[in-house]
Amino acid sequence: MENKLTKNIFFSLGLKIFSSLKDHEELTLSLVGEETNYLRFNKAKVRQSLHLIQGNINLNFTSQEKTCSWSIPFQQDLEQTLEKMTTALGHLRTEAASLPKDPFLVKTQNNGPYEKDHEGTLPPDDELVHSILYPGKDLDLVGIYSGGRNIRANMNSKGQKQWFSTTNFLVDFSLYDAVQNAVKGYYGGQLWDQESYNQKISQAKEQLELMKRPRKKVSRGSYRTYFAPAAVSEILTMMSWGGVSAASFKKSESALGPLANNKKSLSPKFSLLEDFKLGLCPPFNEYGELSNDTIPLIENGQLKNLLTNSKTAKEYDLKSNGANQSEGLRSPLIKTGGLKKENILKTLGTGLYLSNLHYLNWSDMRGGRMTGMTRFACFWVEDGKIVAPIEDLRFDESLYNFWGEQLVGLTNFSETFPEPGTYSQRGVGGVNVPGMIVENFSFTL
């Protein structure tokens, strides 16, 4: 999807369809587009290769305080797409006539212009297979590579024009041995560096060798625990499920409710913010409302903001900060600490080293307590040395403990994990997080 041409066609389409609106009608157009190379592989061999160019335009229609939406595929052919948009507009008029008025309607307005293209570097197309597979050529290397340009744009009948594109990649891979021991790894970002990727594969190889040792059954209890960045990213993802939402707080359902009400506290070592400078997703939401480049959420353990969209702001008489409809995290960053990579095992001492987690859920959302399981390359450590892989464990712990007084430290490095979702199209967003060591982390079975 050629960047400049797509931009020109999209804005031209908008101007044409807006000219057919009636006085009491308003329309917002949102574009979701991508140009992506996908590569699926196992046993270090290509099983599926795909170069995909696609896009969809969503039409959000408002008339006399009623609103509804329609989606159509986007094509480079201006006339064909315009014809489909005109047909969709007719459907929307019919549907809106039968709807009740929306008491919390977000009125269409011009939120200002925005245009940003985040450039990146990807493996050359003619070297893609070699770049991904050669470092694991002698292993059962399994996974998917997705890389290319993602586009998000919108414009409305009030004159708003906004455009965002980003080029990034993600290699989501696993290594398996002959008895199906497995190690999982990620390499993602905007600037491909072959040496960094090779190091990721090398680290996974070393962990796979460790997985051959007899597994240790760890009894339920509380242990000093290191969470690698991939594990921290899984924990942080839970905060989008009612953790940082202003609407959830107003409904007394927020995991940060005790922090907001000064009933519990977090460690001064812990800071969380939305950082759109990462280039993972646009700073504008579905309505075209622009967020600041950064939104501090928790700063040195103190709550600064909750994510608030316009509907929540109108319903509860709050000020919107440009959050999306779900009031979830889009581009979160946890600030790093001072723990060096070479000192992780020494600082951990005796305890657990967790590379990955899965099956996370809230066990008590209002209390900030979550549960989940260890997964792939998790180890028992004694006196700063990895001793054995562990059998799977389930944890149940409060964020007011592991991000509170039990937080020993955060690493001085972080990793970026672009959004891995590819349902219908490649997602935007992601996280940037360090690793962390926690004292007395609770495992229930």
* All domains of the chain in start order, with CATH: 3-205 (3.30.2290.10), 221-443 (no CATH)
Percent of the chain with pLDDT over 90: 89
Alpha-carbon span 403 to 298, nearest angstrom: 11
pLDDT digits (tens, 9 = 90+) for 330-367: 999 999 999 999 999 999 999 999 999 999 999 999 99
- What is the chain's mean pLDDT, rounded? 94
Lowest-confidence pick of 102-106, 160-164, 238-242: 102-106
The total of other beta-carbon atoms located within 10 Å of residue 426's CB is 25
Residue 287 above 70 pLDDT? yes
Mean pLDDT across 155-179: 95
Give the N- to C-terminal CA distance of the chain in Å, as an integer.
Answer: 50
- Between CA 322 and CA 328, with CA 326 as vertex, the angle to 5 degrees is 75
Percent of the chain with pLDDT over 70: 99
Mean pLDDT across 185-196: 95
* CA-based torsion, 221, 226, 230, 235: positive or negative: positive
At 104, the pLDDT band (50, 70, 90 cuts) reads: confident
Mean pLDDT across 122-135: 94
At 2, the pLDDT band (50, 70, 90 cuts) reads: very low
Residue 166 above 60 pLDDT? yes
At 209, the pLDDT band (50, 70, 90 cuts) reads: very high
Residue 421 above 90 pLDDT? no
Mean pLDDT across 241-251: 95
At 391, the pLDDT band (50, 70, 90 cuts) reads: very high
Mean pLDDT across 227-236: 97
Strands 351-364 and 221-227: parallel
Q: What is the DSSP string of 287-298?
A: T-PBPPSEEEEE
In this prediction, residue 5 carries a pLDDT of 55
Task: Specify burial of residue 155 (Cβ count, 10 A radius: 0-12, 13-18, 19+).
Answer: buried
Mean pLDDT across 188-192: 94
pLDDT digits (tens, 9 = 90+) for 33-76: 999 999 999 999 999 999 999 999 999 999 999 999 999 998 77
Mean pLDDT across 398-404: 98
The Cβ-side half-sphere exposure at 208, using a 13 Å CA radius, reads: 22
